Amino acid sequence: MQDTIAEFFSIGCGRCPLVGTPQCKVMTWTKELHALRDIILKTEVEEVRKWGVPCYTVKGKNVVLLSALKESATLNFLKGSLIDDTHGLLTAPGENSQSARYMKFTSVKEITKHKAIIVDYIRQAIAIEVAGKKVVFAKEQEPIPAELLDMYKQHPLLKKAFEALTPGRRRGYLLHFNQAKQSATKISRIHANMKKIMAGKGLNE
């Protein structure tokens, strides 16, 4: 496992064409990622690699991911919405995100300054998993357009794939489809996004 973690720091997550190049986001934030990892490893988590990035688990349950965005190094708390964010440091990855929350850092100095808070949030996330707490997702708010229902009849697997998406991803697509006033435009938008839906991806992924 240590070899795969070392690979992450040496060439990146491998999920984009920039893997192994100086332009890889991991290369931009290597110092910050190492600083965050040092803090995480001092808590009672196990380190594995999932989705190409270091993942920290407790009793086999995913707690937090270490990753890099273009503009920052990040800690991604998978049930971050349940954390008591008294310091206002958690950010939702998207407007429809109901569970995950990020902590973003752009310097080792900033990480050092917030070390106690980082540890507190990690320990909260661990306690959430140990207690078996679950995020209560909001029910679908957006109506399913008739054009999508018709498309289900032509492509039965599309219905299964759409219903398998996270609530946030579904809502993102429904908003996008319903914003179109013309039926032809809705159909066009559905066709344009079918591959992403079938792949389990969100609108902007």
pLDDT at 164 over 60: yes
d(CA 149, CA 106): 45
The residue type at 163? E
Say how many C-beta atoms besides its own lie within 10 A of residue 147's C-beta. Answer: 19
Please measure the distance between the N-terminal and C-terminal CA atoms of the chain and give it in whole angstroms.
28
* pLDDT > 70 fraction of the chain, expressed in percent and rounded: 96
Mean pLDDT of 36-48: 96
72-112 pLDDT per residue, tens: 999 999 999 999 999 999 998 876 677 899 999 999 999 99
For each of the domains in the chain, give its residue range(s) and CATH number, in order of start.
Answer: 2-130 (3.90.1150), 146-198 (no CATH)
130-152 pLDDT per residue, tens: 999 998 776 656 789 999 999 99
> Are the beta carbons of 83 and 115 closer than 8 angstroms?
no
pTM greater than 0.85 (yes/no): no
9-19 pLDDT per residue, tens: 999 998 889 99
d(CA 87, CA 85): 5
119-131 pLDDT per residue, tens: 999 999 999 999 9
Q: In what order do the strands lie in the sheet with 101-105?
A: 46-50, 53-58, 61-68, 73-77, 101-105
d(CA 188, CA 165): 20
**Would the CA dihedral through 93, 142, 186, 150 be positive or negative?**
positive
d(CA 14, CA 27): 12
Residue 141 pLDDT: 66
Quick one: how far is CA 56 from the chain centroid?
14
Residue 117 pLDDT: 97
Q: Mean pLDDT over all residues of the chain?
A: 92
* Residue 79 burial by Cβ neighbours in a 10 Å radius (0-12, 13-18, 19+): buried
Residue 137 pLDDT: 73
